[in-house]
Every structure is written in C-alpha cells, then in structure tokens.
C-alpha cells in the first residue's frame, strides 16, 4: 500500500472533487482518495500491484478528468503551472468580456425602454439584431463555452454533472430555443411561442463566468506564493572545494562531507556546519527572524538562507530532499493540501448539490408553466420559466462552496511558514484555534535549555574582570557542561584568558589549576568549606533556591568571588505568556524540575499554575486529566523528552531548537525555538478559522438567497426576478470574493 499525490487535469469546482473521489474510491485496490479543488491535486492510497495511474485514468478520462503526473515530479516549475491556465483564461476573457459587457449594456437598455417612456427604443431592427446575436452567441458558445458543452455531453452520457454541466445545460437550452425562434419562424408561430430570444443571456453568462474564472485562477495563483518563495530559495549550483580547486558544480552533484565555500551575498546551497571563516546569515525566510544570525566554526547553516558580507567554508551534512528547506517545503505542501474537519459539511453538501440544483431548476420551469400560465398567460409564463431554469443553473454553481476552506488553509499555512511556524495539516491548524489550555514544558521552551552565567560577585579587593579571567581559564580546560557558560560570557566581554597548568577535575566538587604559579579552585560551596576557608565573603546562596547554581572561586588562602549559573529564561517568554493569557488561554507550566526552580521561573514569566517534579508518565497523566475536564489542550515541548504528553495532547507543538526531528513529529513546529511564535500561531489559526467560517457563510447564504431569487419565487409578491445575466455575474464574483477573502490573511498582522 502506497500513498501518492497527483496533479489533476480538468477539475473546476467542489462537485468535481467529490465526483473524482467517488469514482476513485470505487476502484479495486484503492484504499482512500482525497481531492483538493484549490491545489488541484489528488492524494491516493492504493495497492500498486493491483492498480496503476493508467487504470485510474481509464475511469476518470471519460468524465473529463485525468491524473496527469505525480505532484512535484513533473518538469514544469510551479510558476509555469500557475501561468498556463492563467494565460488560457486570459485569452478567452479578452475575447468574451467586451462582447458580454456590450450585450449586458444593451440588455439593460432594452429593459429600461420597456419600463420607462423617457428611454428611447432599441436602436436596431429586431431581425438584424437577432441574426447578429445568433452569430456572436454561436462563436461564444462553441469556442469560449466549449468546456461547458463538454460538461453537458458528459452529463448526457454518464449522468455525472459538475459546474460546467450546469452552465452548459442552461446556456444550451437558451441557445437552442432562441435559434429555433430565429431560424424557423414557423416553429414559433405553430406553438405560439413569444418572439423574445435569449442569445444575450448565452453571451453574457459565458462571458461573465469566464471572466470570473480568470479572476479566480489569478487569485488562486497568489495563494501558492509561499511555496513559490520557498522554492526560489533553492540554488542551482554550489562552489565545492575538491583538492586545491574550487569548482562550481550543479547542486545535484554535491555530496555529504564535501567542503563548500559561500561568498558574500550568496545563498547557501545545502545544509552543513561551518569549518572555516565567519559571517552573518539572513535566515528570515526559514525562521521568520528579521535579524541576521552570526555563524562561525561549528555552527550549522541551512540551505536557502542568505549570506551577508563575510565568506566561509562549511562541510555538507545534508543534500537534496534531506535538507531542512526541502523538508519544510514538503511539509507546507502536505499541509496546504490537507482537509480541515470543518470542510466535511461543505463536502457533504457539494456531493449532492448538483443533482439537487438540476431538480430545482426543473421544478421551477414546470411551476412557472403550470402555475404561471393562468395568471400571466402562456407566452409570459414560458419566458419566466426559461429565465428561472437558466438562472438557477447558473447562479447555483458550487465553486464558492468548494473554495471556501482550502483557499483559507493554503494562505494560512503559507503565511505561517513565512513566519517560522510550520503546520503539519489543516486539522491541527483548526484544532489550535479551539485550544483552551496551553501546557508548557520549562527547559528549552520557557528557558534557553543551556547553562548561562547570570551574575558575577567579586569579593572585596577583587575586580569582576580579574576573577572572571581566572575562572574562565580553569573552566576552559573542563569538559563539564557548565564550562561553556564561562567561555561564552567571557567572550562577550572580550576577557583575555591566561594559560593554565596542572589542571585537575574532582568529580562532584569542582576543578582546579595553576595560573601564574598560584593554585585556584572553582567549585561548590561545600568544597570551599571543606578546605577550611572563611565563607564570610561569599554572597548568600539565596539565589540557589531560585534554581541558580553557585560556584565559588578561591585560592588556597581566601575566597575571590561567587558565580551564579542558571538556565536563563528566554527574553520573549514573559511577553508571550502575557499575550496568551490576554487571548483567554489558561497557561500551565509542566516540568520535571524542582518546585523551587519551577516556582521561580513561573514568577519570572507570569505563570501561576505550575506542575513540578513530573516524570514523563506524570506529564501524560496531567494532559489526560485536563482533557477529561473538558479542555482542548495544546502541549508545547521539545518534541522528544515530552513525547508521551505531546502525543496525548489535542495539539502537539514542538520547539525546533537544536533538532530537526521535531519537525517530523509535531503537529506544529516553532522554528528558532521562539516561544513568541506560539502567540502568532494561535492568532494565525484563529484568523484562518474565522476566514473559513466567513467564506462558508457567504457561500451558503449566496445560494440560499440566489436560488429562490433566480427561480422567481419573489416575483408574484415583490416583482423581483433575477436575470440569468445577473446570475452569471453574481456566480462569477462569488468565487472571486471567497478567494479574495482568503487572501486578506496575507496582509493581516500576527
């Protein structure tokens, strides 16, 4: 059993996707099929030894659809894929729209002339106008309207109807009736049909629908901008060092462990680790960070990020589909093509929508003939019946309904990717919008997850720089995790580090070394006491109760100073917690650390509800308890240590600091380990869900009002009857409005 994504040809609306899914799922060997109208892709799970793409197409092609390629493997670039249908629709629009606009104006003129004596009569002889209209309508229907006629023929042959079938049926009926009236006058006279023709309806409906389709395709092309920008980050060549030569080679020729040079203003071609040189790298497209990040020896660099002014050499660690950029692109594509739970209602309605509309149009036609003839006469009733029949078919096309959810998801997921918020699927994004409780791990989430030298307290008679140089010199020889805290702190203050002799480490106590012929000790408070030194000069270890580790620097005679080390709170943590609480969320810290440490961190960041000293099983149980209380819970952790709790939570959110594995496992990943992105992720999810609800509301209301209006239900009481020309205009712009509303997300601030 394998799962593959295919690009789909011939898909136009939600009923198309429902039809394709229905027929694919019926095939022997196909376990599941999911078709997305916005991305025009199908994800099919099937047994490759029992069924192939060719066999699937044998079923789909007679219906007007085809799986044309495995998504992402064809030779066309995403830009080309978006431009080809856009160019095709543009050419049709340039021909049809001016004609539609002209006939629309003349139609309004004719209507006004009938109602108002001040408006002059129609300026053309009717015989000439009918022949001219017949000629134009024939060109428009059989060229521009060819897809609609194809939909009509498929409906006649297979009994399957989509948007094109609805338009095809309506315009064909109007065209055939009008042609009989014009070309066979005896036909009209024999049945005493009215002289009125509907060529203008054919021209205006097809013209406006085509124009709407062009605007829709153009708008939909913009929804994929996030993927296009990510793909644009992929370079085609790399400057590889082999032997003593630097050679520019295609990106496909770069291998792991190759040495690659990056010049100023160059884009990094693959993932790697810096081995020589340094620079500042702009990682904004991958992480959302606006400021360039310093890169020096042993620092990781990522494909697609932009070098600024320096030059450096890095060793390749990942190429091709293994790079972080490729994985992000893959994840965003998967998420944009996924189906949100809220879409289920729209899918169910779309599946039965077209048959229902066909039934309603037939009922409206017969109702006008049967009930309208005694009141308005046969001629007028037939005219109303034809207008109602065509109007319902045109206005009720389910395009807006089908586009409502996927377009908002595509834009929302893309905007998140640009801000360093990676969403695995649409269900996760929808779920996060409904979250009520945010549970946070401490280490690596609220804190930096690594020891940091917080404060230096020299004893009387000593300077900070002096004791810092001595302590760092000793720790520089140590392999203990705390040693790096001294090295980084001193590097920031540009401290000159003296040389050390006779370095020794005593397990559980500390380190010692000889500097300038004098022995110095750096270790625990207890070790200093054991040496018989006076501890009066030592700063109070009250800070130790707040989770800070105290280290004492002393000589053989006296204490020189005290250092405090801690896992420091992230700068953005307090503001993030405050904003989460303002959003109405209950924020809980869940940590395995001591209560005193957790309480101290909680005070610093503003979290009042704390669960401390929790083992992995305890964390799992805590999440489950919160859920049993009726809460939708989002858990934020590092994606590995908190695996049971992350899996149990309704939404698992991983901090991507230090590991890429989190991206593959979490529902949402926050790049750069920035907890501030969590606030943006929640705002994004709420904005996206709000956009979906707005779109669905608009699509439903549009049809609830439009269908009875087009059917003439309000005419006997209010005199309201919607012309098919206006129905075509309204239908076209309903889809454009839905896509446009989704695109508004791009400009909103998170």
What is the rounded distance in angstroms from the CA atom of residue 730 to the CA atom of residue 208? 9
586-590/437-440 β-pairing = parallel
Rg of the chain (C-alpha set): 35
What is the rounded distance in angstroms from the CA atom of residue 327 to the CA atom of residue 424? 11
Helix, strand, coil share of the chain (percent; to 5): 55, 20, 25
- Dihedral angle, C-alpha 219, 225, 226, 229, nearest 10 °: 180
Maximum Cα–Cα distance for the chain, whole Å? 125
- Reduced to 3 states (helix: H, G, I; strand: E, B; else coil), residue 293 is strand
What is the rounded distance in angstroms from the CA atom of residue 552 to the CA atom of residue 681? 43
Known catalytic residue at 244: no
Sheet holding 651-655, edge to edge: 421-423, 668-670, 651-655, 633-637, 437-440, 586-590, 609-611
- Reduced to 3 states (helix: H, G, I; strand: E, B; else coil), residue 169 is helix
What is the rounded distance in angstroms from the CA atom of residue 706 to the CA atom of residue 360? 12
C-alpha distances (whole Å) from 23 to each of 346, 394, 482 are: 19, 25, 63
What is the rounded distance in angstroms from the CA atom of residue 333 to the CA atom of residue 381? 53
- The answer to whether residues 173 and 386 touch, using CB atoms and an 8 Å cutoff, is yes
Nearest residue to 685 (alpha-carbon basis) of 363, 415, 412, 476: 412
If one counts every other C-beta atom within 10 angstroms of the C-beta of residue 566, the result is 22
- Reduced to 3 states (helix: H, G, I; strand: E, B; else coil), residue 298 is coil
651-655/668-670 β-pairing = parallel
What are residue 315's DSSP bridge partners? 259, 273
What is the rounded distance in angstroms from the CA atom of residue 386 to the CA atom of residue 369? 9
What are residue 438's DSSP bridge partners? 587, 634
306-307/271-282 β-pairing = antiparallel
Distance of CA 133 to the CA centre of its chain: 47
Residue 723 token pair: 């012309």
What is the rounded distance in angstroms from the CA atom of residue 671 to the CA atom of residue 7? 30
Residue carrying the six token digits 């896992």: 567
Nearest residue to 474 (alpha-carbon basis) of 529, 419, 533, 515: 515
Residue 8 token pair: 């789909």
What are residue 566's DSSP bridge partners? 452
What is the rounded distance in angstroms from the CA atom of residue 50 to the CA atom of residue 60? 17
Q: Name the active-site residue from 441, 567, 593, 642.
A: 441
Sign (positive/negative) of CA torsion 406, 407, 411, 417? positive
Active site residues: 441
């Amino acid at each position: 059993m394998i799962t593959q994504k295919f690009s789909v040809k011939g898909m136009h609306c939600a009923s198309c996707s429902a039809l394709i899914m229905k027929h694919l799922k019926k095939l022997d060997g196909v376990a599941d099929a999911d078709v997305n109208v916005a991305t025009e892709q199908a994800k099919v799970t099937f047994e490759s030894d029992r069924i192939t793409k060719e066999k699937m197409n044998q079923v789909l092609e007679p219906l007007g659809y085809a799986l044309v390629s495995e998504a992402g493997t064809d030779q066309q670039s995403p830009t080309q894929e978006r431009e080809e249908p856009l160019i095709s629709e543009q050419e049709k629009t340039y021909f049809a729209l001016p004609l539609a606009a002209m006939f629309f104006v003349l139609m309004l003129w004719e209507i006004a002339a009938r109602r108002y004596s001040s408006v002059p009569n129609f300026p053309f002889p009717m015989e000439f106008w009918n022949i001219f209209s017949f000629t134009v309508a024939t060109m428009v229907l059989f060229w521009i309207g060819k897809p609609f006629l194809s939909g009509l023929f498929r409906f006649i042959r297979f009994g399957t109807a989509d948007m094109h079938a609805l338009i095809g049926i309506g315009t064909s009926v109007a065209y055939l009736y009008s042609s009989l009236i014009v070309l066979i006058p005896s036909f009209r006279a024999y049945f005493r049909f009215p002289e009125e023709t509907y060529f203008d309806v054919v021209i205006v409906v097809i013209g406006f629908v085509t124009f709407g389709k062009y605007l829709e395709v153009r708008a939909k092309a913009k929804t994929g901008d996030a993927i296009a920008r990510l793909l644009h980050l992929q370079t085609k060549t790399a400057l590889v060092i082999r032997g003593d030569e630097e050679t520019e080679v295609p990106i496909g020729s770069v291998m792991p462990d190759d040495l690659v040079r990056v010049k100023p203003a160059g884009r990094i071609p693959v993932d790697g680790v810096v081995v020589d040189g340094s620079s500042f790298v702009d990682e904004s497209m991958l992480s959302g960070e606006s400021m360039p990040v310093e890169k020096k020896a042993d620092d990781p660099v990522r494909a697609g990020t932009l070098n600024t002014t320096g030059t450096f050499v890095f060793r390749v660690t990942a190429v091709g589909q293994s790079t972080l950029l490729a994985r992000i692109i893959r994840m965003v594509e998967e998420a944009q093509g996924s189906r949100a739970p809220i879409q289920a209602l729209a899918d169910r309605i779309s599946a039965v929508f077209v048959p229902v509309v066909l039934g309603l149009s037939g009922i409206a036609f017969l109702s006008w003939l049967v009930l309208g003839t005694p009141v308005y006469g046969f001629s007028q009733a037939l005219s109303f019946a034809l207008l109602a029949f065509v109007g319902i078919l045109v206005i009720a096309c389910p395009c807006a309904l089908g586009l409502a959810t996927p377009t908002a998801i595509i834009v929302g997921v893309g905007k998140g990717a640009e801000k360093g918020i990676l969403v695995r699927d649409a269900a996760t994004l929808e779920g996060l919008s409904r979250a009520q409780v945010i549970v946070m791990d401490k280490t690596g989430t609220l804190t930096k997850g690594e020891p940091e030298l917080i404060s230096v307290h020299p004893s009387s008679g000593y300077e900070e720089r002096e004791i810092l140089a001595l302590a760092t010199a000793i720790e520089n020889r140590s392999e203990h995790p705390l040693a790096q805290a001294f090295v980084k702190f001193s590097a920031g203050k540009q401290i000159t580090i003296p040389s050390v002799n006779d370095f020794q480490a005593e397990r559980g106590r500390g380190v010692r070394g000889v500097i300038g012929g004098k022995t110095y000790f750096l270790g625990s408070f207890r070790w200093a006491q054991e040496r018989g030194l006076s501890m009066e000069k030592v700063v109070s270890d009250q800070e130790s109760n707040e989770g800070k580790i105290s280290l004492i620097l002393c000589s053989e005679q006296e204490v020189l100073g005290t250092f405090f080390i801690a896992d420091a709170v992230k700068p953005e943590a307090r503001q993030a917690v405050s904003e989460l609480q303002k959003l109405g969320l209950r924020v809980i810290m869940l940590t395995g650390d001591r209560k005193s440490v957790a309480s101290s961190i909680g005070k610093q960041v503003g979290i009042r509800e704390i669960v401390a000293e929790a083992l992995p099983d305890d964390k799992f149980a805590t999440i489950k308890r919160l859920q049993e209380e009726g809460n939708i819970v989002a858990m934020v952790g590092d994606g590995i240590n908190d695996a049971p709790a992350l899996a149990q939570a309704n939404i698992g959110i991983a901090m991507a600091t230090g590991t890429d594995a989190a991206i593959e496992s979490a529902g949402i990943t926050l790049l750069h380990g920035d907890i501030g992105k969590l606030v943006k992720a929640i705002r994004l999810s709420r904005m996206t869900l709000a956009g979906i609800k707005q779109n669905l509301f608009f699509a439903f209301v549009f049809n609830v009002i439009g269908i009875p209006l087009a059917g003439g239900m309000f005419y006997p009481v209010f005199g309201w009857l919607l012309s098919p020309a206006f129905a075509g205009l309204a239908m076209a712009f309903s889809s454009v409005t839905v896509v446009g509303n989704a695109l508004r997300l791009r400009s909103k601030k998170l």
